[in-house]
Amino acid sequence: MSPRPPAPRPPFPAVAGRVSRPVDRASDWEAMYRAGEDRWDIGGPSPPLVAALGRGEVRPPGRALVPGCGRGHDVRLLAERGFDALGVDFAPRAVAGARALARAVGARGARFERRDLFRLPRTFDGAFDLVFEQTSFCAVHPDRRDAWARAMHRALRPGGLLLALFLVHPYEEGPPFGTSRAEVRHRFVASGLFRLEAARVPAESTPARQGKEWMAFLRRPPA
């Protein structure tokens, strides 16, 4: 029998390493919220998103989706700025916390649904003008990254914008699972799902994330 040919090497260096804890089920994340192990929560909206809105790089009106929204800080901000904003998260505590915070500050236009982002209903297809991503892509198992990209492509209307903050730090284990610019280009652009319109390392990242976030403006091609 001839030896099996080696598996083709991916066109990007492997950066996401060992899985330190399970991440595929809602109960995995619910347990982290219950234990107070939610250091990803910066207590407010993502500063690079605030800056992008301030510069007019992202403009309301429109429907905005935030996958893996946690306590919904970015959803509230997008709603305050005039978007019809929906956050989805599959951890019950995240959704309950997001709803409670939105009620407490009277955030109109911010809605939250408990959903698995890999099992969004057909009514979500092409329904959004904007997807804002931060710390959801790095939270899913690296094997599911193509599925993540397809899910966001599906949710956006043709011509819609995926504004994503990718964690480009090569952590050896996750979550959070790091990525690289080359991997993002491969999965999102070379796949034909999106066009990369612009990208930068945002100056506004929180101190702990300085230099580790890469902000990409990815456009679903118009029909």
Ligand X SMILES: C[S@@+](CC[C@H](N)C(=O)[O-])C[C@H]1O[C@@H](n2cnc3c(N)ncnc32)[C@H](O)[C@@H]1O
Q: How far is the CB of 104 from ligand X (least distance, A)?
A: 17
| Euclidean distance between CA atoms 152 and 163, whole angstroms | 11
| Euclidean distance between CA atoms 23 and 30, whole angstroms | 10
Q: Is residue 152 involved in binding ligand X (CB under 6 A)?
A: no
User: For ligand X, which residue of 76, 98, 134, 160 counts as binding (CB under 6 A)?
Assistant: 134
- Contact in structure between 66 and 86 (CB atoms under 8 Å): yes
Of 41 and 146, the one with the shorter C-beta distance to ligand X is 41
Pairing of strands 156-167, 213-219: antiparallel
Residue 221 dihedral angles phi and psi, to the nearest 5°: -55, 140
**# of chain residues touching ligand X (CB under 6 A):** 20
Residues 62-121 that bind ligand X (CB under 6 A): 68-71, 88-91, 94, 116-118
User: For ligand X, which residue of 60, 98, 135, 161 counts as binding (CB under 6 A)?
Assistant: 135
Of 6 and 33, the one with the shorter C-beta distance to ligand X is 33
Q: Is residue 136 involved in binding ligand X (CB under 6 A)?
A: yes
The amino acid at residue 47 is P
Of 136 and 180, the one with the shorter C-beta distance to ligand X is 136
Q: What share of the chain is helix, strand, coil (3-state, %, to 5)?
A: 35, 25, 45
Q: How far is the CB of 162 from ligand X (least distance, A)?
A: 15
Residues 28-67 that bind ligand X (CB under 6 A): 29, 40-41
DSSP 5: P
**Cα dihedral across residues 73, 222, 137, 13: positive or negative:** negative
- Interface with ligand X by CB under 6 A: which residues? 29, 40-41, 68-71, 88-91, 94, 116-118, 134-136, 139-140
